Chains A and B, each alone.
Chain A
Amino acid sequence: MVDAAASTKGDLHLTNLVKAFGDFRAVDDLSLVIPEGSFFALLGPSGCGKTTTLRMIAGLEEPTSGKISIGNTDITYAKPYARPVNTVFQNYALFPHLSIFENVAFGLRRRGIKDVKEAVTKVLALVELGHLAERKPVQLSGGQQQRIAVARAIVNRPALLLLDEPLGALDLKLRRQMQIELKWIQTEVGLTFVHVTHDQEEAMTMADTIAVMNEGRIEQMGSPVELYESPRTVFVANFLGQSNLVKGKVEGASGSDLQVSVHGNRIVVPSARNFAKDNSDKSVLIGIRPEKISIEHPEANTLGGGVITDISFVGVSTQFQIQMPWGQELSVFEQNDGGASHLQKGDTVALSWKPEFTFALDGTADVDAGTSVNPDEI
C-alpha cells in the first residue's frame, strides 16, 4: 500500500461520462478507473458505446457531460494532439498518400524526432511487415493494414493506448500471435492498454480487468475469473460464456446459505453469492454454468426428471441439451473422460452440482438478456 500514491499517478479516470447524440445516450453516466500499466478490456455487444467511449478518451468526441483525467490532469477538453494517447482505429484510417514507412513514422516526426528509421524498422519487424515498408496502404490486404494501424500507434509508446478491435480482421493463428506480441509490449514497456473487443476469449486471456458494457453503461467490472465465476447481472451471465438460469423462490436462510425452491426442488445458494439487489418479493434467478453440472455424480443441489433432447460432441467435451419437467432447456457440458459416454437421447437424468458454484440474480430480470443470439449480431 506504500505504492498506492505513486501508482495512481497515471491512472485514467472517467467520471460520470455521458455522450448524447440528439436524445439518444450512446454512453450513459459511465464511471471507471483504469490503473496505470494495466491491460483493460472493454467487452460488449455491437452498438453499446465502446467506440464512442474510446473517442472521448482520445479527444475526438467531446463528452456531453462528465470528466476525463489522467492522474491529476483533466484532459476532458484537451485537443487530441495534446494528449499522451494513441488510437488503433477500428477502420485503420491509414494515410492513403503516404508509404507504410511514412505512415508509421508520422507520429514520431510530428514530435520532432529526427532519426525515425530504427524505431520504424523495429516496429515493422514486430508486426512482420518490414518487407512492405515502401508500399502504399491500398496495396495491402485488410489484415496487413490492421497490423500497420497497430504499428503506427505503438511506435509512439504513449502513456495510454486505445485499441478498437485491433485484431478483428486477422485469422486465428495471426490473431493469437498478435495477442502475445501486444501483451508483451504492454508488460515490457508498462503502457496502459484499453482494448475493445468482441472476442470474449481474447478479453479473458489478455486483460487484467474486463468491463462488460451494455447500452452505454458498465454492467460489471472485474478480473476475468471474477466475471466468469460470479456474474452479477443476467446480461453478464449470458454474454460471458453460457449460463443456465432458472426461476426460483427464496424460502429462507440457514447459516451462511440461502434456501431456494426451484420448481419444487430445494436448492442451496451461498448468501455471499446472492447478487439480487432486492429479495423483497422473494423471486430470484438461480444460475449455474453448464460445465459445473454433473449428470452422474449426486451433489447437494439436484434437479431431477430431465430428458436428454440433444447431444453434441465437441472434442474435449460433450454438450447435452436437457429438457426439464417445466419445459425449460438447460445445457450441460461433460468432460470426455468416459463417464457420460453411455448416455443417449431420450434418457431421463438428474442434474447435480455443488452449492458453491451456484449464484443468484435478480428474479425480475429478462432471462435472455445478453444471450449471443442478439438481434444486432445476426
Chain B
Amino acid sequence: MAFVAAISKRSSTVRGIKRPSTPYLLLIPGLSWLAMFFIFPLFTLASTSTQTAPEGADTGTYVQTFRLANYIDAFVASREQFLRSIIYALIATLLALAISYPLAYAIAFKSGKWKNLLLVLVVAPFFTSFLLRTIAWKQILGNEGPVVTVLRTLHVLGPQSGLTASAFAVVTGMTYNFLPFMTLPLYASLERIDPRTLEAASDLYANGLTTFRKVTFPLSLPGVVAGTLLTFIPAAGDYINATLLGNPKTKMIGNVIESRFFEIVDYPTAAALSFMLMAAILILVMAYVRRAGTDELV
C-alpha cells in the first residue's frame, strides 16, 4: 500500500511540474502570431479611430485628438449600410443553412461510396479565387445567362428586367460563396452521430421525422452553430459581392469602409466603422451562442 501511495505521489508531483508547461509552450507560436497580426493592428486601428485632420493639412494627415464623436459621426453617416449588412448576412446565412443541411445530411448518411467525391465537390469552388467565382455568378445571373432566360420564358421576369445589379444578386452571391463554410461543419457533426442511436430512436417508437427532430438535429447543433458563425461573420463584413453584383442602393458596410479608406482617405472614419462592425458582430454572436447553449452540447 505504501509503495502504491509513494508511486502515486511521485507521479502527481511529476504531473504538477511537467504537465502544464507543455500546453503553454505549444501556445507560443499562435500567441505571437496573434500579437503581431491582430493585437498590434487592433491598437493602431483604435488609435486611428479617434484622430482628426488639423486645419489646412494635406489629405491623409491626421493627428491624435481623442475625438470619440468620430464614432457617432461615422455611424450617423452610414447606419443604412450597417443595417443592410446585418440583414443581407442574415438572409445569406439562413439560405446557406437551408441548402447545406440536406446536402450535408445526404453526404453523411446516404452517399455510400460517393462520400469522398461529394466532399471534394463541396470544396472544389475554393480552387478558383473568390473574385473569379463572384464574376462567374454575375455571368450566371446575367441577362444572357441561363437563369434569366428560363425565368423570362416562364414569364416570371418581364422581357426588360434582369437579376444582376440587385439585392437578390448580392445575397445569392454571398450564399453561394460561403456555402462550403456552412456545409463542412454541418457534415462533420452529422458524420459523428452514431447511426445506432438513430436505430435506438426508431426502436423506441420515433418515426423518421421525430427521430430527426429529437435526435439527429439536436446532435448536429454544434455544426449548425459553427456553420452559421463561419458564414455570418465573413458575410457581414464582405464588400466584393456588393461591389460586383450590386448597385449603389445595395452598398454594405464593407463598401463604405473600403471607399473611406482607399478613395476618400478618411482613415479615422474607416477605423471607427471597422470597430463598430467588429463590436456589432461580437455582440450578435455572443447572444446567439448563449441561446444555442453550445456549452451544454456534447
- Chain A: interface residue total (CB-CB under 8 A): 24
Contact of A136 among B199, B219, B298 (CB under 8 A): B298
Give the CA-CA distance A110 to B213 in the complex, in Å: 12
Q: B37 an interface residue at 8 Å Cβ cutoff?
A: no
Chain B residues with CB under 8 A of A110: 204-206, 210
Interface status of B201 (Cβ within 8 A of chain A): yes
A371 to B: closest C-beta gap in Å: 33
- Interchain CB contact under 8 A, A93 and B204: no
Residue A101 is within 8 A (CB to CB) of chain B in the complex: no
Say if the beta carbon of A58 comes within 8 Å of chain B. Answer: yes
Task: State whether B200 touches A89 (Cβ < 8 A).
Answer: yes
Tell me the chain B residues, 192-210 only, with Cβ under 8 Å from chain A: 194, 196-197, 199-207, 210
How far is it, in angstroms, between the C-alpha of A59 and the C-alpha of B206 when the chains are bound? 13
Scoring A85, A89, A97, A152 by chain B CB atoms within 10 A of each residue's CB, the highest score goes to: A97
A79 touches B202 (CB 8 A): yes
A131 CB contacts on chain B under 8 angstroms: none
Bound-complex Cα distance A354 to B205 (A): 55
Residues of A within 8 A of B297 (CB): 97
User: Size range of the interface on B?
Assistant: 10 to 19
**CB within 8 A of A156: which of B204, B214, B215?**
B204
B218 within 8 A of partner (CB): yes
Contacts of A97 in B (CB 8 A): 215, 218-219, 297-298
Asked if A96 and B219 sit within 8 Å, CB to CB, the answer is yes
| Contact between chains at B203 and A80 (CB < 8 Å) | yes
Complex Cα spacing A178 to B270, Å:
71
Complex CA distance for A67 and B199, rounded to whole angstroms: 21
Give min CB distance, A22 to chain B, whole Å: 15
Which residues of chain B are within 8 angstroms of A81 by Cβ–Cβ distance?
A: 202-207
Residues of A within 8 A of B199 (CB): 60, 80, 89, 93
Bound complex: CA A97 to CA B220 (Å): 10
Instruction: Please name all residues of chain B whose beta carbon is closer than 8 Å to the beta carbon of A86 when the two chains form the complex.
Output: 203-204
* Cross-chain contact B203 with A60 (CB below 8 angstroms): yes
CB-based contact A111/B205 at 8 Å: yes
B196 touches A91 (CB 8 A): yes
Minimum C-beta distance from A57 to chain B (A): 11
- Interchain CA distance A138-B197 in the complex, whole Å: 14
Residue A53 CB within 8 A of the other chain: no
Query: Least Cβ distance of A220 to chain B in Å?
Result: 30
B153-197 interface (Cβ within 8 A of A):
194, 196-197
With a cutoff of 8 Å between Cβ atoms, the chain B residues found around residue A156 in the complex are: 204-205
With CB as the reference atom, state the residue of chain B lying closest to A138: B298
Contact B298 A96 (CB under 8 A): yes
Indicate if the CB atoms of B204 and A107 lie closer than 8 Å.
yes
B207 touches A95 (CB 8 A): no
CA distance A107 to B215 in the complex (A): 13
B210: nearest chain-A partner, CB-CB = A110
**Could you tell me which residues of chain A, from 78 to 132, have a CB within 8 Å of some CB in chain B?**
79-81, 85-87, 89, 91, 93-97, 106-107, 110-111
CA distance A9 to B194 in the complex (A): 36
CB distance from A128 to the nearest CB of B (A): 22
Contacts of A80 in B (CB 8 A): 199, 202-203
Q: With contacts A60-B199, A60-B202, A138-B298 known, is A93 near B194, CB below 8 A?
A: yes
Binding site for A on B (CB under 8 A): 194, 196-197, 199-207, 210, 214-215, 218-219, 297-298
Q: Which 9 A-B pairs have the closest CB atoms?
A: A107-B204, A110-B205, A93-B200, A93-B196, A80-B202, A96-B298, A81-B205, A97-B218, A81-B202
Q: A79-B207, A95-B201, A97-B215 are in contact. List 8 more A-B contacts (CB 8 A).
A: A60-B199, A85-B203, A95-B200, A97-B219, A106-B201, A107-B204, A110-B204, A110-B205
Residues of A whose CB lies within 8 Å of any CB of B are 58-60, 79-81, 85-87, 89, 91, 93-97, 106-107, 110-111, 136, 138, 152, 156
Q: List 19 A-B pairs, Cβ < 8 Å.
A: A60-B199, A60-B202, A79-B202, A81-B202, A81-B204, A86-B204, A89-B196, A89-B199, A89-B200, A93-B194, A93-B200, A95-B197, A95-B200, A96-B298, A97-B215, A97-B219, A106-B204, A111-B205, A156-B204
